[in-house]
Amino acid sequence: MRYATAMQSDLVRFGVAMERPLLEHFDVIVAQRGVTRSELLRDLVRAEIVKAQIARGAPAVATLTLVYDHHVRELTEKLTEFQHQLGDRVRSTLHIHLDESRCLEVIVMQGRSDELKRVADRLLATRGVTHGGIEIIAEEPADHGEHAHHGHDAPHTPHTHAKPRKPRRTS
């Protein structure tokens, strides 16, 4: 991860004061995840930094998940038209028939985080959409043509990614 190099060279120790019951709850999470207090605190700080970046309109990728009733009049057409309006901000879609009336759709998008959130809110509010949510991930700046993967400190072998194909509907 990008933070690993900085942490190894610039590790700073500081004290944190908190109420005992809060610390006890924190320690339960530490034990469940099998990490140290420091590791969990760093993860929480990173998550808050990402939330702040997203609120400012940072470059981001997002997955929008929708469950909807495809029997609702013109809903499928509305969702398709909306995706076409987004153009190349839609990177890929996955469409699954859950049962005779419900579909699940996952839309992978890329763009400014605030715009992706607005798009998601609009789609989630569409009549006939029964469930859904968005996960927005602020993009980290590229580092010498490579990109970071979370969860390991192993060296990353540089590679290229195939150019994504235009989204295709299968309903």
Residue 141, pLDDT score: 59
- CATH of region 59-138: 3.30.70.1150
Share of the chain above pLDDT 70, in %: 77
Mean pLDDT of the chain: 82
Residue 55, pLDDT score: 84
Residue 36, pLDDT score: 95
The pair of structure tokens assigned to 30 is 């530490």
For the chain, the C-alpha Rg in angstroms (whole number) is: 20
Dihedral sign from CA coordinates of 135, 31, 49, 19 = positive
**Interval 41-80: pLDDT, tens:** 999 998 898 888 888 889 999 999 999 999 999 998 999 9
Report the distance separating Cα 96 and Cα 104, nearest Å: 5
Residue 8, pLDDT score: 60
**Interval 20-47: pLDDT, tens:** 999 999 999 999 999 999 999 999 998 8
In the chain, where are the structural domains located?
A: 18-55, 59-138
How far is the CA of 154 from the CAs of 5, 38, 77, in angstroms? 12, 20, 46
**Interval 158-171: pLDDT, tens:** 545 444 444 444 44
* Lowest mean pLDDT, pick from 33-47, 81-95, 133-147: 133-147
Q: Which residues pair with 161 in a beta bridge?
A: none
The SS3 of residue 124 is helix
